[in-house]
């Protein structure tokens, strides 16, 4: 009898559980399985200069939660807070970052009056921290942490949550998990991330990035700060990389592996479309002025609905020692001009290149959205640019004081007469190029007297072979000027 009374008393007090008849393992009551955790997710990896490092604030609760209060500590020498943003609806969400290195966050879902916001329950991300990575280059990978701070001057805890039943959960019942951010030290010049910097593959990828063909992730952009001026993936970095390659005796012979640019570029090689190009195309000169010789320039040009009107991009003779790369995607034209020859520093201002665009109702038919400039030593510089006046190619006048060129008949079959006029006696060069910018025929390379001249072209290349139908450019260069005539050959 006494033993039965003791068993009943232990059972009532919850200190003894009778054995299960089916021998199944004992499972505690649901309230004993409650868990409450705050975390920042797995370790994050980022690079120097990252403008937006997004850090999630995750919560895992097994009971409805209506209030969260945190004080998050971070390394202000490495990170600078941009903003704290909620990831869901709350009746109140506030943060205070006035104290350096600390972020105070307070949110609640059960303020009066309505609207009614459901409490937090389960696993979710309730907010995001947005940081800039502002540390200087430490020349090694650096691990920094996000921790929780308790103010010793306050009487109670600063990091806690409140459940919908008004229970307060603090540490250690509330798991506060530290976050880790690894700041990646750049391997400058290793843009393709193969651990070998300053390779020809890095240059190809970088050029493709400037042309809009390839994208770079944040680590690649950090590695692309080749001149280490703190500005990632600029035209100055591209110039620095190319000069680093050409000055390297091991890699200098591999330069021909690069997709060399052209003096002329057209967006389409469709021969059926090329024959429809009209001599009435209008030219738009892109004029550049800098205080030092130009080593590189990059332009992003918005064409809007006029992409189909763009016929050609032509590099000016004053800068024809440079290489030009062009690409169109999503109605945007990327033009990159780079000086491979560091010793050549002749261009500091004037017409850099010209856009040839078919006539239309919208004038001007484009806008320059962004530009970037470099000197010949891979250092970023400031330069002024503007769009020059328009000239109708079909209205070039043969005056004695200007350089002119034209072809007749045009289009032509068999032969055409290329007429030209030069203002001054001197050395001149008349060359025919195809639509891809490849030289087809050199018609003149030598001394000319001032005045008019004519050369007959029989539609053959330098090797004596027949050319195919399409558009060609006759380029007359001399007296520090250049002029171009479009020729249309039909078989």
Domain boundary among 374, 395, 416: 395
pLDDT tops 50 at residue 19: no
**If you average pLDDT over residues 12-28, what whole number do you get?**
45
Examine the domain organization and report whether 251 and 354 are in the same domain.
no
**If you average pLDDT over residues 248-273, what whole number do you get?**
42
The top-scoring range by mean pLDDT among 143-157, 368-382, 395-409 is 143-157
Closest of 236, 261, 244 to residue 199, by C-alpha? 244
Q: Give the range of the structural domain holding residue 174, as residue numbers without chain letter.
A: 34-184
Examine the domain organization and report whether 290 and 245 are in the same domain.
no
**Can you tell me the distance from the alpha carbon of 205 to that of 219, in angstroms, rounded to the nearest whole number?**
14
Examine the domain organization and report whether 269 and 352 are in the same domain.
yes
Examine the domain organization and report whether 40 and 177 are in the same domain.
yes
Q: What does the pLDDT read at residue 187?
A: 86
How sure is the predictor about 85, in pLDDT bands with cuts at 50, 70 and 90? very high
User: Does residue 28 fall inside a structural domain?
Assistant: no
User: Does residue 219 fall inside a structural domain?
Assistant: yes
User: Does residue 27 fall inside a structural domain?
Assistant: no
Q: How many domains does the chain have?
A: 4
Q: What does the pLDDT read at residue 219?
A: 83
Provide the edge-to-edge strand list for the sheet that holds 481-489.
Answer: 439-448, 426-433, 470-478, 481-489
Instruction: Assign 297 to helix, strand or coil.
Output: strand
Examine the domain organization and report whether 389 and 414 are in the same domain.
no
Examine the domain organization and report whether 282 and 252 are in the same domain.
no
Q: What does the pLDDT read at residue 106?
A: 96
Name the percent of the chain lying above pLDDT 70.
Answer: 76
Examine the domain organization and report whether 42 and 119 are in the same domain.
yes
Query: Residue 158: CB partners within 8 Å, gap ≥ 6?
Result: 69, 70, 71, 149, 150, 151
Q: What does the pLDDT read at residue 11?
A: 45
| Contact between 57 and 103 (Cβ < 8 Å) | no
Question: Which of 364-368, 411-415, 424-428 has the lowest average pLDDT?
Answer: 411-415
- Beta strands 426-433 and 79-86 are unpaired
pLDDT digits (tens, 9 = 90+) for 348-393: 788 888 888 887 766 678 888 888 888 776 677 888 888 874 333 3
Domain boundary among 375, 395, 415: 395
User: Does residue 189 fall inside a structural domain?
Assistant: no
How sure is the predictor about 399, in pLDDT bands with cuts at 50, 70 and 90? very low
- Top pLDDT among 393 and 124 is at 124
pLDDT tops 70 at residue 30: no
pLDDT tops 90 at residue 116: no
**Can you tell me the distance from the alpha carbon of 296 to that of 319, in angstroms, rounded to the nearest whole number?**
10
Closest of 232, 217, 237 to residue 45, by C-alpha? 217
- Beta strands 481-489 and 294-302 are unpaired
**Would you give the DSSP letter of residue 458?**
-
pLDDT tops 60 at residue 426: yes
Q: What does the pLDDT read at residue 267?
A: 64
**If you average pLDDT over residues 7-13, what whole number do you get?**
45
Q: What does the pLDDT read at residue 390?
A: 37
Three-state secondary structure readout of the chain: CHHHHHHHHHHHHCCCCCCCCCCCCCCCCHHHHCCEEEECCCCEEEECCCCCEEEEEEEEEEEEEEEEEEEEECCCCCEEEEEEEECCCCCEEEEECCCCCEEEEEEECCCCCCCCCCCEEEEEEEEEEEEEECCCCCCCCEEEEEEECCCCCCCCCCCEEEECCCCEEECCCEEECCEEEEEECCCCCCCCCCCCCCCHHHHHHHHHHHCCCCCCCHHHHHHCCCCCCCCCCCHHHHHHHHHHHHCCCCCHHHHHHCCCCCCEECCCCCHHHHCCCCCCCEEEEEEEEECCCEEEEEEEEECHHHHHHEEEEEECHHHCCCEEEEEEECCEEEEEEECCCCCCCCCCEEEEEEEEECCCCCCCCCEEEEEEEEECCCCEECEEEEEEEEEEHHHCCCCCCCCEEEEECCCECCCEEEEEEECCCEEEEEEEECCCCCEEEEEEEEEECCEEEEEEECCECCCCCECCCEEEEEEEEECCEEEEEEEEECC
User: Does residue 126 fall inside a structural domain?
Assistant: yes
The top-scoring range by mean pLDDT among 172-176, 302-306, 339-343 is 172-176
* Phi and psi torsions of 273, nearest 5°: -80, -35
Q: What does the pLDDT read at residue 60?
A: 96
- Top pLDDT among 328 and 485 is at 328
User: Does residue 10 fall inside a structural domain?
Assistant: no
Examine the domain organization and report whether 78 and 178 are in the same domain.
yes
How sure is the predictor about 137, in pLDDT bands with cuts at 50, 70 and 90? low
Examine the domain organization and report whether 306 and 389 are in the same domain.
yes
- Top pLDDT among 79 and 265 is at 79
Q: What CATH number did the domain enclosing 84 receive? A: 2.60.40.680
**Can you tell me the distance from the alpha carbon of 40 to that of 313, in angstroms, rounded to the nearest whole number?**
50
Note the Cα 69 to chain centre separation in Å. 38
User: Does residue 22 fall inside a structural domain?
Assistant: no
Extended strands (E) in 134-191: 142-148, 160-163, 168-170, 174-176, 179-184
Examine the domain organization and report whether 205 and 170 are in the same domain.
no
Question: Which of 98-107, 373-382, 427-436, 461-470 has the lowest average pLDDT?
Answer: 373-382
Instruction: Assign 130 to helix, strand or coil.
Output: strand
Examine the domain organization and report whether 179 and 40 are in the same domain.
yes
User: Does residue 363 fall inside a structural domain?
Assistant: yes
Examine the domain organization and report whether 234 and 368 are in the same domain.
no
Note the Cα 216 to chain centre separation in Å. 6
pLDDT digits (tens, 9 = 90+) for 275-325: 344 555 677 888 888 877 888 888 889 888 877 788 888 888 778 778 888
pLDDT tops 80 at residue 125: yes
């Amino acid at each position: 009898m006494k033993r039965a009374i003791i068993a009943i008393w232990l059972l009532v007090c919850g200190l003894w559980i009778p054995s299960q008849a089916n021998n199944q393992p004992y499972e505690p009551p649901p309230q004993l399985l409650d868990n409450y955790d705050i975390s920042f997710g797995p370790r994050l990896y980022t690079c120097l200069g990252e403008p937006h490092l997004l850090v999630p604030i995750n919560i895992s609760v097994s009971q409805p939660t209506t209030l969260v209060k945190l004080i998050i500590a971070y390394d202000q020498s490495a990170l600078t807070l941009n903003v704290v943003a909620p990831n869901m609806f709350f009746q109140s969400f506030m943060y205070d970052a006035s104290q350096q290195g600390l972020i105070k966050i307070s949110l609640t879902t059960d303020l009066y009056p309505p609207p009614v916001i459901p409490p937090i329950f389960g696993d979710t991300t309730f907010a995001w921290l947005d940081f800039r990575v502002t540390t200087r280059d430490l020349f090694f990978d650096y691990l920094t942490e996000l921790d929780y701070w308790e103010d010793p001057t306050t009487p109670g805890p600063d990091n806690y949550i409140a459940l919908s039943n008004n229970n307060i959960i603090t540490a250690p019942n509330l798991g506060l998990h530290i976050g880790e951010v690894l700041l990646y030290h750049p391997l400058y010049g290793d843009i393709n991330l193969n651990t070998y910097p300053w390779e020809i593959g890095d240059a190809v990828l970088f050029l493709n990035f400037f042309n809009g063909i390839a994208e770079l992730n944040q680590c690649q952009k950090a590695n692309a700060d080749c001149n280490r001026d703190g500005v990632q993936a600029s035209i100055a970095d591209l110039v620095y990389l190319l000069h680093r390659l050409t000055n390297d005796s091991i890699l200098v012979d591999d330069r021909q592996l690069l997709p060399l640019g052209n003096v002329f570029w057209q967006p389409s090689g469709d021969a059926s479309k090329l024959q429809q190009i009209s001599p009435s195309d209008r030219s738009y000169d892109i004029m550049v002025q800098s205080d030092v010789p130009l080593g590189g320039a990059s332009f992003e040009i918005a064409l809007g609905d006029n992409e189909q009107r763009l016929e050609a991009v032509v590099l000016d003779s004053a800068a024809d020692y440079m290489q030009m790369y062009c690409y169109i995607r999503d109605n945007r034209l990327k033009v990159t001009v780079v000086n491979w020859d560091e010793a050549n520093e002749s261009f500091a201002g004037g017409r850099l290149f010209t856009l040839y665009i078919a006539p239309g109702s919208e004038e001007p038919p484009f806008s320059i959205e962004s530009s970037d400039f470099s000197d010949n030593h891979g250092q970023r510089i400031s330069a002024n640019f503007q769009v020059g006046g328009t000239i109708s190619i079909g209205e070039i006048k043969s005056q004695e004081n200007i350089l002119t060129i034209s072809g007749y008949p045009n289009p032509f079959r068999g032969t055409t007469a290329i007429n030209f006029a030069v203002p001054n006696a001197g050395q001149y060069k008349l060359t025919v190029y195809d639509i891809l910018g490849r030289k087809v025929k050199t018609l003149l390379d030598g001394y000319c007297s001032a005045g008019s001249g004519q050369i007959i072209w029989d539609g053959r290349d330098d090797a004596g072979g027949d050319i195919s139908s399409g558009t060609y450019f006759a380029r007359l260069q001399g007296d520090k000027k250049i002029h171009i005539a479009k020729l249309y050959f039909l078989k």
